[in-house]
Amino acid sequence: MQRFRFQVKQSAKMMLLSGLVGLLLVLTAEARVGYSESDLCYDTEQCLHFDLICQTEDFEVRHIESLNWASTHEMEYSFDTAVKNGFKRIQKYINGANQNGTKMDIVTPVVVRVHHRNSGEIGVYIVHVLLPAEYQENPPTPTDENVYILKSPDMKVYVRGYDELLSAKSDNETAQSLASDLDSVGANYKKNFHLAAAYSSPLSITNRHSEVLFVALGEPVCN
């Protein structure tokens, strides 16, 4: 009888521990993405959370934890066409084109991985839409084979924002300007691509904000 009681107590402890681990996982997810009063989170209820490491006159350095995104590839000569087509495909997934028929809210920012290319080459773009906090641990499986769940790595990034809608022209000009400033201070970063982030809807008349992000290599330069 005593052995049975011991086993019951052990089982109860294991169940409690399991529940606490599950709760911690949920809290961790919500700490990385969720509701925010940030000035950048004005078009959606949830948005990306990040840690601001430092800020200079020319750029910010942020720490972004590993997260799950709904993603799709686009190969286009036009940046704007790639972003438009990729987002439409993921929007269908968010609106229920998944095995559970789950409808989710849009989370900002929408992020595009822009691979750098020579003039005249076709562009490779990966469009990412961040999953809401409640679906970070168990994302619904897409029914479109061209949409997949991608887990981004934990990373530090150099960021420059600008108060315009995301477009080929605004993104290219800002990326070149930021790269030049990073090179001038000896920053080490991945140079074969950058990330373009859109915080505002294309229909926004005010509160327009977009960003360019370069992934830092090693310890970021903060001076």
Determine which of 11-25, 116-130, 176-190 has the lowest per-residue pLDDT on average: 11-25
Per-residue tokens: 35: 């509701």
The larger pLDDT score, comparing residue 113 to residue 202, is at: 113
pLDDT-derived band at 205 (thresholds 50, 70, 90) equals low
Summarize pLDDT for 73-94 with one digit per residue, the tens: 999 999 999 999 999 999 999 9
pLDDT-derived band at 36 (thresholds 50, 70, 90) equals low
> Dihedrals φ, ψ of 129, to 5°?
-120, 125
Tell me the C-alpha distance between 97 and 90, whole Å: 9
Percentage of the chain modeled with pLDDT above 90: 73
pTM for this predicted structure: 0.83
120 in Cβ contact with 21 (< 8 Å):
no
2: three-class secondary structure by DSSP:
helix
217: three-class secondary structure by DSSP:
coil
1: three-class secondary structure by DSSP:
coil
Summarize pLDDT for 141-177 with one digit per residue, the tens: 999 999 999 999 999 999 999 999 999 999 999 999 9
Looking at residue 203, what is its pLDDT?
65
* Amino acid of residue 79: F
Tell me the C-alpha distance between 151 and 48, whole Å: 14
Per DSSP, the residues of 22-80 read HHHHHHHHHHHEEE---TT-SSSSEEE--EEEEE-SS-EEEEE---EEEEEEEEES-HH
194 in Cβ contact with 214 (< 8 Å):
yes
Per DSSP, the residues of 98-142 read BTT-------BPEEEEEE---TTSPEEEEEEEEPPGGGSSSPPPB
214 in Cβ contact with 198 (< 8 Å):
no
Tell me the C-alpha distance between 67 and 20, whole Å: 21
195 in Cβ contact with 157 (< 8 Å):
yes
Sorted by where each starts, the structural domains of the chain and their CATH numbers stand as: 35-215 (3.20.80.10)
